[in-house]
Structure formats: structure tokens, C-alpha cells
Amino acid sequence: MRSNGAETCRGRERIEGAELCADPDVEAVVLALPCHGRFALAMEAFAQGKHVLTEKPVAMNVGEVEQMIEARGDLVAACCSERYRFPEGAQVATEFVASGALGDLREVYHRSFSPAGPPPDGPRPEWRLKRHLNGGGFMVNWGCYDLDYLLGICGWKLKPQTVFGQTWTIAPQLASHVPEGSDAETHYTALIRCEGGTMLKIERGEYMAIGTEDAWQIIGTKGSLRLTMLQTKPKQLIFDEATEEEGCQSRIVWESDEEANVHLVSKGPALDLAAAIREGREPSTTLEKALIVQQITDAVYASAASGEAVSI
């Protein structure tokens, strides 16, 4: 895999990077550029028979993801939103949930806030909080990681049906922290009802007027699993189990004193794509799985705009 900034013509449309996609020595491409420029390049890559790893969010909206799935054919394509499921703690959590130890799942949630700091020394990326460049704001910048992480740990068995959400842009007194003209959210919350009644609750914010918070939990009828996403200290998975004889008892089911598997977070998606190509298997997060994340994301924005729950 290698990068190329050349610009060529294909049909009537000029696509930056098309020369890379046409190179016969290139087998796969990584689309690590802002969201508004990725869809055309992904479609070009598929047309040229290249496997694709796209940065997150997978696309600007559901319609683009559906077109990518149709164009992919037998090629391998994945989204980098999977990166936080490669470290050991996430893999152990996935196996623990799959074992059935939690019973029937009732709630899956996270609540993560980052407080506002001092004004930045340098300019912020223009694309990050502008809808026309990124498809959204903090929801697509971090929410896709959150959803991929929780849905993946639950084995992608949660089937979202109804979404009720709200988003907020940066507080007026902190406007200098973001580029002028930013119109996308820095804080979002959503309640997602899944098939069978399991509730998926997500809440995250940056530049917040609140102290740091970070809570992750999967709650079932038999027990609950407390976990973290970023492998922060202490690195533990805690199982709270309720029995008739002893009531609720807590125990550590996994812990690690090692530093976070940074290389698995940063390189995991590319390594997984390469292995999937060579082994003839699906990558960790296929376009079909990324579509579920995008469906929830689009529904959160639609619900926030209308004030009503939205069906997927």
C-alpha cells in the first residue's frame, strides 16, 4: 500500500488519487483523507479492482455506504472504526459476552466527557466540525468508534430499530476553540432500542463544562461487565454477578499491567485488511457492519433535527 497525490481523468470526473487506483502494482488502498473526499475515491478504487480500507466515518451518509457495498463486489473493504477492538482487553470482553455469562442483555452503554481546556495554540483542522466536509461533528469523529466497539464486543448481534437523540454545538464562550464557521456538534446523546428490547445508550462530548467522565458497561440478567475503551489504568474487566445465594458479587476477570497495545490500535485495521485479503476472509468491520454504524449516526442527526424518535 502506498499513497499518491496525483490527479487524473476518468470519464468526465477528475478524482485526486485516481492514478494510484489505476496503478497495476497497487493491490489495496488506504483512504486516510477527510470524509467528503473519500466516496469518489473508494468508488474509483473498486472500479479498478483494488481492495479498500477507509478511515472513519465510513462515508457522509447511508446512501454512500450502500453504493460502496454494491460497487465492492468480491473485493475486500473495511473501515478503521474497528481499531479499538484489536487490543487484548476488547478481545477478552468479546469472548466473555459470547460465553453467555451475562445472560440476556438489557443495556449496553457508555458515557464519556472531556472538559474544555485553554484555547488552542494553533489552528484546528477545518474539516473536523463542519458538516459539509465531514458529514457531522463529534458523533462521526468518535461516535463511530464507540458504536463499533460496543456492537463488536456484543458480536454484532444487536439489531437497532429506533433511535432518539440530541446534539449540541460548542458553548458560545468556547467558540475560539474551533474553526470559524463550525456548525457540527461537540456533544451528543442517543438512546437506541434494539430488537428484543436491549437498549444501547451512547453519550460523549468534548470542550465540555464538566469534569472528565468515562464509563462503559454491558448489563445482563445474570451479570454486568465493566470495561474501558482506551485501556487506561487500571486495565481491568470487572464482572458483577448476581446469584440467589450471594446476591451481587464482583470479581476481576481480566487485568493487565502492560502498556496499551498502541500498535494494535494504530496498525490493527491495516494488518487485518491485509490478512483478510490473503486468507480470503472478511475483515473485522466490513462495509455491512459500517453501514449499521452509519444508519445509527444518520438517525441520531435526524432525531435531533426533528425532536422525534427515528426508525431504522
Q: Is residue 203 part of a domain?
A: yes
Q: Give yes or no: residues 69 and 92 share one domain.
A: no
Q: Do 108 and 241 lie in a common domain?
A: yes
To which residue does cell 457540527 refer?
184
DSSP single-letter state for residue 4: -
Q: 21-72, pLDDT tens digit by residue?
A: 889 999 999 999 889 999 999 999 999 999 999 999 999 999 999 999 999 9
Q: Max CA-CA distance within the chain?
A: 72
77 and 93 share one domain = no
- Mark whether 174 and 199 lie in a shared domain: yes
* Structural domain containing residue 38: 7-82
248 SS3 class: strand
Cβ atoms 60, 135 nearer than 8 A: yes
What domain count does the chain have?
A: 2
Sole residue written with cell 485495521: 269
Shared domain check, 113 and 92? yes
Q: Do 12 and 50 belong together in one domain? A: yes
Residues 93 and 38 in one domain: no
pLDDT 10s digits, 243-271 = 999 999 999 999 987 665 677 888 999 99
Alpha-carbon dihedral 167, 172, 176, 179, rounded to 10 degrees: 40
Cell numbers for 295, please give them: 444508519
The whole-chain average pLDDT of the chain stands at 92
Domain limit, last residue, from 23, 52, 82: 82
